[in-house]
Amino acid sequence: MSTIRVDTFGPSAGGTTYSARGIAKAWVNFNGTGTIAARDSENVSSLTDNGTGEYVVNWTNAFGATDYVPTGSSGPQSGVSNNIGISFQTDTGRITASSVNSVTRRRDTNTDVDVQFAFILAHGDLA
């Protein structure tokens, strides 16, 4: 029989939240057009719009270090096929224990675009 380590990291809307190693510690589904807004999220305190296609996700509970793993995907830009990718800016200060910067870009024109659907999640150890 295997054992899973379970930690508590504070209350959520449904009571105490339990976290097992290997599961996402934070995630967000948001609209990146106009005034950006989360549709749903976990462990996300706010979103910041830094210009066309550039979003900052701020974590409610910080990660223990900057070596956590953010991943993401994005949906279509209005009127454009789903030829859009999401990347994470890794230069100094862009991935911190408390936030991550992302960029959504059209692959065919290599231009940054706002998207109707952005999905970002992160795996790692919380502080």
Measured in whole angstroms, how far is the alpha carbon of residue 51 from the centre of its chain? 17
Distance CA 40, CA 118 (A): 11
Distance CA 117, CA 60 (A): 21
Mean pLDDT computed over every residue of the chain? 83
pLDDT tens for 18-76 read: 556 678 999 999 999 999 999 999 999 999 999 999 999 999 999 999 999 999 998 76
Q: Is the pLDDT assigned to residue 16 strictly greater than 90?
A: no
- Can you count the helices (H) and strands (E) in the chain? 0, 11
The answer to whether the beta carbons of residues 36 and 102 sit under 8 Å apart is no
